[in-house]
Structure 1
Amino acid sequence: MRANPYLFLGANGRKAILGIYIDRDSDLSITSQLCRQLRDRIQTGLLAEGTRLPPTRKAAQEYGIARNIVIDVYEQLTAEGYLIGKRGSGTYVASGITAMSSGNFTWMESLHEHNSILSDDIIDFTTGTPALEFFPSRIWGNYLKSAALNSPLSCLDYGDIQGHRELRLEITSYLLRTRGMHCHPDQIMIVSGSSEGFTLIAKAMYPQYHGIYLEEPTIEITQNIFKQMNYQITPIEVDHHGMKLHEMNHYKSHHLLLLTPAHQFPSGSILSIQRRLLALKLIEMNDTYLIEDDYDGDFRLKGVPIPPIHTLCPERVIYAGTFSKTLAPGLRIGFLVIPSELISTFTDIKESINIRTSAFQQIALAHFMRDGHMDRHIFKMKRLYKQRRVVLLDALIQYFGDEIKIHGDEAGMHLAVEFLDKSRTIDWEKSIEYGVKFGLVEEYSLEKQKHTHDIVLGYGNVREDHIKMGIERLHRFYEDQS
């Protein structure tokens, strides 16, 4: 019988392929375990460029798992840039991934493990709003009531400027469990949504840093905040692998770098591992910081959430998270994970302008997370958004066929659509007359007239029975523009 070239003993003498084994007693899913261990071996150089991975069928047999799990793992890491598939040959470790010290990539197992119609006549595909009709209002109301009735009197005072400690503890545990991030509760700062978070970052980092690199195009909120703080804005174009960092001639001094690596807005692209490593190299060489906006990282609709850049270099990354997409924007709760050496700067700034978040909201959210409702809600919403995305894709293909190109990874609550006939002059504002509303990529662009034929469709808060109707209206509008 021929020996398996990929098989050797792993930890505790158990059989392992490429030194990777499955812990069936772990709270982590098998998919998460395989993804994390493969990333670790590639990042640390144990699996070198060009290494051929075992065929999916062989790996599934050796592990005693479904082949679809192995396929999902390979597809996940291919999407992230770690692997590359060669038709008829197999799956290989991709090039351009510089081996780094294993200390930077230590993965711990988990410690625990309204619809969009604005009126009866308008179907609204604008982005940013989750499925509000599925918000667990009754459960949330019970936690709010309990927080108001049972919290100590101290919660009626101004409280800790960094936020309620119980919530910061829950966020710390949550980030470790879902993102593989290692941070201390003292590094967490609670903010009233992403806008306040980015405002604090802009204030705290200025004037030592007076410029910032932004993705082009990107969400207008961050553009406006840093413009108003007199930062020099330098846009860098994105493609289907994120910001084109490799095309920068040189890195400007005293510039921060802001990225949405897990799901770029509005393109929907994932920043590849090669560009993530290049980003870290640039900020380290130029003694600056990377701001990581993880606005919808909970909703990776295929595979598992992509590890944040923060896991690669926590001392150089300011991580911004929010519950606006996960739960509801009306809660106005977000958070920052701040490098230790910047904590006092951020707390001083926040104290000086006396910005605080409701203590009862924070306590309610902490208990909501502690009791597992957050995890259950995310699981439910991922299934919903995946289904809505499929309905939207089917409708776009049915009505537009090869007239369009669809962009965006299977994540989040939006996708981008490029209309291929560039000869048409389209007055997109007239679409409202056809009963449909959506976003324009041009609105998010710093450099205008480059994306006049690109739109953004958000499907998070659009009922499935309205999605097809909305795309039919979009099609009628588009045809009438010719």
Structure 2
Amino acid sequence: VGGPGRGVPGPGVRVDFRPGTPDLSLFPRSAWAAAQRSVLARLPHRALGYPDPRGLPELREALAGMLARRRGVVADPERLVVCSGVAQASTLLGFVLRARGLRTVGVEDPGSPEHGRLFASTGMETVWLPLDGEGLRPEPLAASGVRAVVVTPSHQFPSGIGWSAGRRAALLDWARAVDGYVLEDDYDGDFRYDRAPVGALQGLDPERVVYAGSVSKSLAPGLRLGWTLVPEELLGEVVERKRTMDLGNPVLDQAVLAEFVTRGGYDRQLRRCQRAYRERRDALLAALAEHLPGTGVSGIAAGLHVIARIPARFGPPERFLERAAGAGVALRSLEEYGTARPADGDVRLV
């Protein structure tokens, strides 16, 4: 399971397929503990004071190098801000944009409702913008009047598509034309199975794209460690908002992550997770073919979730979900994401 949202198992749940939380048993306890010991042994006393609100320089350097190598971003450590996951990156940007006079933000439809909720907490309203098989449709975007959007172009949540090159270019053309900004939520950009990695949108225009990512899927969401790369024009305002919000992320946690990245532990963890999640994906596809023949699947070449299109002969959507819940299997219907609705009688689960 995976995705930008959060998943908390309820009572009676035996198997939880809802997106939101990775397999927490994969957390590298021994390697993380070793990094903690190393950090505590070498960190000078002065480092335990109030940190730079952007984050420890050593972590920003490590993350910038990793993101440039793995995701193709333009990663200047001076423009990288360590934050408490993509959630805080979103609210930081929301507060800054609202102070600049923006009142609305566009979100993908279908998309993660969490995006709208986060920006709503900063006083901004959400405008749902429709997708097709290539990405965000340009005409509704142009007609919406928004000057900021949140997107997941590398592996769209929840559809699983990768945006086409044409739609990526069109989005950036729109942002330049309206003097707007794009928040790129790269929530599972490191997980690719059957295709070459898709580079981050930010690499095409770092002055219009605010890039955000975290360790929530690769390590654990409970660490509350993430990052955002900010255009030069917004950097000072974002850093000041981060300073007044929490005075910066915990120093020890930042230092441990820096150690983990620079010593190769993070790359090893990603390889371990990729193997595990690919095996589970293949097992899920085999089980669907055996027990629910005729089920169509999409979004399976990357990421931590799939779209399963269950044939209508297995019952109405509500009844199918009830039967699954009765068996202790937690699922989510695609209808819970945005305003888009399936046009046929099939059940679409994510």
For the Cα contact (< 8 Å) 2:50–2:247, is it kept in 1? no
Distance in 2, matches of 1:249 and 1:294, equals 21
2:347 to 435, 441, 453: 453
For the Cα contact (< 8 Å) 1:289–1:316, is it kept in 2? yes
2:333 to 433, 440, 446: 440
2:73 to 174, 181, 184: 181
1:358 counterpart residue number: 250
Distance in 1, matches of 2:275 and 2:246, equals 40
Distance in 2, matches of 1:118 and 1:378, equals 28
Matched, 1:229 2:229: no
Matched, 1:293 2:192: no
For the Cα contact (< 8 Å) 2:35–2:260, is it kept in 1? yes
Mapping for residues 218-367 of structure 1, pairs under 5 Å? 218-243=111-136, 245-248=137-140, 250-367=142-259
Higher RCO (C-alpha under 8 Å, 6+ residues apart): 2
Give the aligned length.
339
* 1:148 Cα offset (Å): 3.0
Distance in 2, matches of 1:117 and 1:212, equals 30
For the Cα contact (< 8 Å) 1:251–1:282, is it kept in 2? no
* 1:425 Cα offset (Å): 5.0
For the Cα contact (< 8 Å) 2:55–2:248, is it kept in 1? yes
Matched, 1:386 2:263: no
* 1:296 Cα offset (Å): 0.3
State, as a whole percentage, how many aligned pairs show the same letter: 31
Distance in 1, matches of 2:73 and 2:328, equals 44
* 1:449 Cα offset (Å): 8.1
* 1:256 Cα offset (Å): 0.2
- Which sections of structure 1, spanning at least 5 residues, go unmatched? 1-115, 457-482
- Counterpart of 1:230, as a letter, is G
1:299–1:285 CA distance, 2 compared to 1 (3 A): same
Distance in 2, matches of 1:170 and 1:151, equals 16
For the Cα contact (< 8 Å) 1:227–1:233, is it kept in 2? yes
1:156–1:254 CA distance, 2 compared to 1 (3 A): same
- Counterpart of 2:327, as a letter, is Y
Distance in 2, matches of 1:355 and 1:218, equals 32
Matched, 1:203 2:95: yes
Structure 2 residue matching 1:218: 3-state secondary structure: coil
1:411 to 264, 278, 302: 302
* 1:450 Cα offset (Å): 7.0
For the Cα contact (< 8 Å) 2:127–2:144, is it kept in 1? no
1:431 counterpart residue number: 324
Distance in 1, matches of 2:343 and 2:222, equals 33
Structure 2 residue matching 1:410: 3-state secondary structure: coil
For the Cα contact (< 8 Å) 2:108–2:131, is it kept in 1? yes
For the Cα contact (< 8 Å) 2:130–2:140, is it kept in 1? no
* 1:241 Cα offset (Å): 2.5
Comparing 388-397 with 348-357, greater Cα deviation is found at 348-357
- Which sections of structure 2, spanning at least 5 residues, go unmatched? 1-7
Structure 1 residue matching 2:40: 3-state secondary structure: helix
RMSD: 2.3
Once the two structures are superposed, residues 259-284 of structure 1 have per-residue CA deviations (whole angstroms, 9 ceiling, x without a partner) of 10011111111111110011011111
TM norm structure 2:
0.90
Once the two structures are superposed, residues 268-312 of structure 1 have per-residue CA deviations (whole angstroms, 9 ceiling, x without a partner) of 111111100110111111110111110000001123321111111
* 1:394 Cα offset (Å): 1.1
* 1:154 Cα offset (Å): 2.3
TM norm structure 1:
0.66
* 1:248 Cα offset (Å): 2.0
Distance in 2, matches of 1:397 and 1:276, equals 34
Matched, 1:161 2:53: yes
1:126 counterpart residue number: 18
For the Cα contact (< 8 Å) 1:194–1:321, is it kept in 2? yes
Mapping for residues 45-194 of structure 1, pairs under 5 Å? 122-194=14-86
Once the two structures are superposed, residues 354-399 of structure 1 have per-residue CA deviations (whole angstroms, 9 ceiling, x without a partner) of 3521111110110111011111111121122111111111111111
- Counterpart of 1:232, as a letter, is E
- Counterpart of 2:310, as a letter, is F
1:78 counterpart residue number: none
